[in-house]
A and B are shown apart, each in its own frame.
Chain A
Amino acid sequence: MNVRAQISMVFHLDKCIGCHTCSIACKNIWTDRKGVEYQWWNNVETKPGTGYPTKWEDQDIYKGGWEKNNGTINLKGAGKKKGLLNIFHNPNLPVIDDYYEPFTYRYLDLIESPAMKDQPTARPVSLITGKPIDIKMGPNWDDDLSGTPDYARKDPNLQDLSPAEQEAMFQLERMAFFYLPRICNHCLNPACVASCPSGAIYKRGEDGVVLINQQVCRAWRMCVTACPYKKSYYNWHTGKSEKCILCYPRLEAGYAPACMHSCVGRIRYLGVILYDADQIESVASDDGGKLIDRQLNMLLDPFDPRVIQAAKENGVADSTIKAAQYSPTYKFVKKWGLALPLHPEFRTLPMLFYVPPLLPVMASLGEQDKSQGEKLDPIAKFWNDSWLYDTSTEDLWGTIDQARFPLKYIANLFAAGDEEKVKVVLKKLMAVRIHRRNVTVGDLAEEKVEATMRGAGMDVETAEEIYKLTSLAKFDERFVIPPAHREQALEMLEFTGDTKGSVGFGFKEKAERGL
């Protein structure tokens, strides 16, 4: 057992309101510069939808991630052979138009325009060429556009849904969607690291953050192709690739990353998870369809004395082990089994997990037709009014099977198509809801509630815990950041002997007297 610590994340999709505050927080801090205007290290997309860059999930187009052939896994569009052979021209590199051409408006024209008969306008101009452009796309161009032929229907996750299922999904009155915020997953088997010919990308041993060394990057741009989530971006101005750094300077100082700190829906959780690094290769190359189970099995119980012992032997700090025990992500992912990785089939072993959304799956339009109501289970609640959402259930599990959102779709996103996996999670989420409804409103039959809880394998105590961490958790419970050990912080950057007598970090100069 080779125990390492990884900062992992959980996004609770039922809580995301799609406000894009996270994206803006990130942009303001990190990507408000020339060459990276188009980069959204954090982006929020509407699902079903094509996302950013357009259809990023379709690896027939982008050739990202790992693929399994003859027993081993290889990078689909990069790697030693493909990468070096295609180094002069990478046939699988997305170009800027796959994201969007960054633009601004000539606001000054509004102010400086001479008096005219018509209102002056601010024309859009490209942030690359500075010339006027017709805006074709933006970073969240398909926001809220569920059902549209150009966007929602081109979602790659719809591919193996039957035409009937797809049609049902897009019937005007049944239409639903949810938001999918994405950042770099700081994977355990990162395709970006493996694809970099100059070895500029690496995973930090201490906390698992994946970073690109800007001094070593030579613009071979293989990571852009290799990352299946398209979370490594090329800075066209400096000729260096850049990616989400999980706000590591903030983490080291004990602050949550900017996107998480600012999240309005409080959907984000961050904490340490201990894992067994010896298993990475075998898990990533699993081919018995057990990829998710095995990925979750790699994550170790921080209370298990053997794990603690092995972690200590490996030099994991006591404070980090403690942080792992309090980790909210450990609870969501392992203890409660509520969170799943996004597209595990890309085999990068992502460390950002999602609690799949219950509402769009379960809710249906309130039926006005009385005869419908009579068909319902007498103990289930029936809303006979014009509310938009009816979360009542014919039989409490009924709607999960006949969900308005085909389960297959959610399963394609979070479980490599395995509907059972998603169903288990949704049942648990439903059980918590029904339990809380029973506590707060008390209009459900006791035996029905118990049946639901039993069906989901949930006890009252756990349901309460889940409810608390989901809805009431304060800052310190949502983000449990291990101390970065400031007493060793200098060593995290460089050897003290070299810095003695010099000034500051980073691009530094000696404080020498001029000639």
Chain B
Amino acid sequence: MENLFNALNNFFLIALPYIALFVFVIGSIWRYRNGFKFSSLSSQFLEGRQLFWGTVPFHIGILFLFLGHLIAFLIPSGVLAWNAHPLRLIILEVTAFIFGVAVLIGIVNLLYRRITNSRIAVVTSKMDYVIIGLLLIQVFSGLWVAYNFRWGSSWFASVLTPYLWSVFALQPDATAVAALPWVVKFHIVGAFLIIMLIPFSRLVHFLVPPIDYLWRPYQQVIWYWNNREVRKPHTPWSLKRPKNN
């Protein structure tokens, strides 16, 4: 029994993360090179009103939660310092919980829309249901953990962050995490599963947020060749790479 337990822990907390990260990296490169399939596959064009109540709470919530997890991973000391004051801790936890609920509401609305709207059904793949299911379980387990095992932002920073760093440092150490309640472990496994599926689902659009739009000029003109150079008699035009401006 003990052995089985260890084996399971090892598999889910050490092997799975590596499999997931490996598949994620290779899969994303492969998918990106087949650029045509890289799209957020928005379905707003077929149905816009119901979508609003799904996509907006979902995206805002998930972005906040993602950044929250990321910060706790990158600068745990900062989170701990913030949480040193109980009032600040409570503010953080309550806000995060509210955003979690927003995500939950969002996904439920999105799922309902996918099931009931016949037009949306046409543009729904099996993978969409897998992703929605996983996200639903994930946010539910997350809320569960946040509610029952307080205060997550603090113990995440002191227990999970070292574990995640150990995974990335290729010296995985899951001993502390293995002792956590099973819901927490479940939440970790779910996270890695979702990461693994990113390149194979519409979640790819998360990898290409159009941030560079902020600093690019509005108008874009593309030349196939450097127009001036290519017509100069002394330019060996076959050696000129096409140049944009």
Contacts and interface: CB of A to CB of B under 8 A. Distances in A.
A216 B208 CA distance: 10
Nearest to B223: A205
A141 B6 CA distance: 69
Interface in B204-222: 205, 208, 210, 212-214, 216, 218-222
B219 A189 contact: yes
Interface stretch (B46-54, B85-93, B133-141, B155-163): B46-54
Contact of A93 (B44, B55, B208): B44
Interface string B104-126: 00000000000000110111000
Given A80-B213, A80-B214, A131-B118, 8 more contacts: A84-B213, A88-B55, A93-B45, A193-B219, A199-B210, A217-B39, A234-B42, A488-B224
A32 B12 CA distance: 49
Contacts, number: 147
Contacts of B119: 96, 128-129
A439 to B, nearest CB: 46
B234 interface: no
A33 interface: no
Given A193-B219, A491-B225, A317 B46 contact: no
B220 A215 contact: no
Interface residues of B, number: 51
A1 interface: no
A297 interface: no
Contacts of A218: 38-40, 205, 208, 210
A396 B208 CA distance: 63
Interface of B: 35-36, 38-48, 51-52, 55-56, 58-60, 118-119, 121-123, 205, 208, 210, 212-214, 216, 218-231, 237-238, 241-242, 245
B38 to A, nearest CB: 7
Interface in A201-238: 201-206, 214-221, 224, 234, 236-238
In the complex, the 5 A-B pairs of residues with the closest C-beta atoms, listed nearest first: A315-B227, A215-B35, A197-B210, A205-B223, A194-B218
Contacts of B41: 219, 239
A194 B46 CA distance: 24
Given A80-B214, A89-B52, A236-B46, A193 B220 contact: yes
Contacts of A190: 219
Given A129-B122, A131-B118, A205-B224, A88 B56 contact: yes
A93 B52 CA distance: 12
Nearest to B106: A88
A172 interface: no
Given A218-B205, A221-B44, A315 B228 contact: yes
A279 interface: no
Given A206-B227, A237-B123, A315-B230, A93 B48 contact: yes
A205 B228 contact: no
A238 B35 CA distance: 12
18 contacts: A79-B218, A80-B213, A88-B59, A96-B46, A128-B46, A128-B119, A189-B219, A193-B219, A216-B35, A236-B123, A238-B39, A240-B39, A315-B231, A317-B231, A488-B225, A488-B237, A494-B242, A495-B242
Contact of B36 (A214, A237, A280, A496): A214
A121 interface: no
A221 to B, nearest CB: 6
Contacts of B219: 189-190, 193-194, 203, 280
A215 B231 CA distance: 30
B149 to A, nearest CB: 31
A197 B238 CA distance: 33
A239 B42 contact: yes
